[in-house]
Amino acid sequence: MGSGCNYDGLDSFVKIPTIKFTKLFINGEFIDSISGKTLETIDPRTGEMIARVAEGDKEDVDLAVKAARHAFDSGPWPRLPGSERGRIMMKFADLIEENVEELAALDTIDAGKLFSTGKVRDIPVAASILRYYAGAADKIHGEVLKMSREFHAYTLREPIGVVGHIVPWNIPSVSFFIKVSPALAAGCTMVVKPAEQTPLSALYYAHLAKLAGIPDGVINVVTGFGPTAGAAISSHMDIDAVSFTGSTEVGRKVMQAAAASNLKVVSLELGGKSPLIIFDDADVDIAAQLALTGILFNKGEVCVASSRVYVQEGIYDQVVKKLVENAKAWVVGDPFDPKVQQGPQVDKKQFEKILSYIEHGKREGATLLTGGKPLGGKGYYIEPTIFTDFKEEMLIAKDEIFGPVMALAKFKTIEEAIERANNTRYGLAAGIVTKDLNVANTVSRSIRAGTIWINCYFAFGNDCPFGGYKMSGFGKDFGLEALHKYLKVKSVVTPLYNTPWL
């Protein structure tokens, strides 16, 4: 037990669902991996195994790509009227909503996510993403072009083909549907590789896709490890596009593999070290609340976590006091318990990585204001942790920690805040807290990041494009921009009158 916050241990809230799906889903069937190998999926609340899941490798990816290729080249999905694809996707969304509790519980035992959040947010949001793109499926069209020469031309927007989706573990259900939904609406077929830490809900979604009437071969799910099954996707000669969310390090490998194989289209949603800037005119309670939730939501395992918080000098002491007070009262424990605000980190590797960053911060001379220790006798729980007096070159200020660890600093001027906020290789998101419109507008235009939240944080929406600048990647998720990632533009040209065609 730690002293930094409330720790509410395991026991009375355990609601482990029966695990129904553990095999690869290829061409509409659940099948074993060709090698017969399986991998363990672990409950981070205890470190114990939940189930063994098929371990797919290159040959399984080949099989899945073959099914997806066939479904694309000669199956009905890309040829259906968009309205019909939309109708089936709506049914898929309804089926998700009918199984909210079970799906939320699967993500809780696999990823350590709060069950209550899963029920009211992750799973309903997954269904809503499907519905957003279902509504777009019959609104895909090109343009008629009045060419400057005497030609008549128009563009067609065609599905890009077979897509590989490599999905992370931190928000398994939403990540799955951020990728799958626009690709389905576009008329693509796909191979999805969930993260090895969190395969369970993805396999359940494969089952629901079939029930909804999505034709065999359109969605294939290959569970397995990154360097084997994941790498087989990014280097595959018959996959037309790959969409990846995860670490910058692996994003680089995905891009290299795409370049070295068939030059497939790549989109990357990578990490971040997002700044939240709080100005003197901010309401202290609201600002502290935003900053703390910004780093502790989903135990800090969020690509846009507000891991660097800059507070203007006039209210710095008040914000620090409030932050530390609130961090100490933050409830860490079993994610099934409705009182709990923070569950365990996803796995032992992530737990140890976060603790080693904390040690680094202490060793390099940053001041630990609160937290810093693991919690509980078993499982991967960590105290909400706040460092201050850090230097910009310290690892805790530079690297994505992906855990409940905030780096907090004081600033004087707007110019200083902008400069420090931009002093990162990442550019995923940023937050600004101020009542002054001029300050908000100036700062939001000066920060090189894909999303700016003013007086809010985590304000995602299906219709609001999301994605990085700089080394946080490229290519947008959400919005119609994401639909266009899975479409190719074809130009069709014909002469008018007796135009000479050369």
Binding interface with ligand NAI (CB under 6 A): 166-168, 170, 193, 195-196, 225-227, 230-231, 234, 245-247, 250, 253-254, 269-271, 303, 350, 353, 400, 402
Please indicate whether residue 303 is annotated as part of the active site: yes
Please tell me which residue in 269, 301, 383, 400 is annotated as part of the active site.
269
Beta bridge partners of 452: 430
| CA distances for 498 relative to 148, 419, 495, angstroms | 15, 60, 7
Nearest-angstrom CA–CA distance, 341 and 250: 30
Please indicate whether residue 464 is annotated as part of the active site: no
- Which tokens is 296 given? 């502790």
* Minimum CB distance to ligand NAI smaller for 167 or for 449: 167
- Which tokens is 299 given? 């135990």
* Minimum CB distance to ligand NAI smaller for 23 or for 253: 253
Nearest-angstrom CA–CA distance, 13 and 1: 19
* Minimum CB distance to ligand NAI smaller for 106 or for 443: 106
Least distance from C-beta 56 to ligand NAI, angstroms?
11
* Minimum CB distance to ligand NAI smaller for 103 or for 405: 405
* Minimum CB distance to ligand NAI smaller for 201 or for 350: 350
H-run or E-run covering 54: strand 48-54
Least distance from C-beta 442 to ligand NAI, angstroms?
28
Nearest-angstrom CA–CA distance, 162 and 179: 13
Please tell me which residue in 5, 55, 188, 303 is annotated as part of the active site.
303
Nearest residue to ligand NAI on Cβ basis: 226
* Minimum CB distance to ligand NAI smaller for 61 or for 311: 61
Q: Are 428 and 268 in contact (CB under 8 A)?
A: no
* Minimum CB distance to ligand NAI smaller for 75 or for 271: 271
Nearest-angstrom CA–CA distance, 242 and 264: 7
Angle at 141 between CA 138 and CA 142, to 5 degrees: 175
Nearest-angstrom CA–CA distance, 415 and 279: 12
- Which tokens is 363 given? 């060793």
* Minimum CB distance to ligand NAI smaller for 26 or for 239: 239
Beta bridge partners of 155: 491
Strands (E), 127-247: 144-146, 151-159, 162-166, 189-193, 219-221, 241-245
Least distance from C-beta 114 to ligand NAI, angstroms?
17
Nearest-angstrom CA–CA distance, 64 and 71: 11
Nearest-angstrom CA–CA distance, 334 and 291: 23
Least distance from C-beta 341 to ligand NAI, angstroms?
21
Break the chain down into helix, strand, coil percent, rounded to 5. 40, 20, 40
Comparing CA positions, the residue from 275, 314, 306 lying closest to residue 419 is 275
* Minimum CB distance to ligand NAI smaller for 219 or for 443: 219
287 φ/ψ angles, rounded to the nearest 5 degrees: -60, -45
- The three-state secondary structure class of 474 is strand
Q: Are 384 and 296 in contact (CB under 8 A)?
A: yes
Least distance from C-beta 310 to ligand NAI, angstroms?
21
Comparing CA positions, the residue from 139, 131, 144 lying closest to residue 177 is 131
H-run or E-run covering 73: helix 58-73
Nearest-angstrom CA–CA distance, 386 and 291: 11
Radius of gyration of the chain measured on its C-alpha atoms: 24
Residues annotated as catalytic are 269, 303
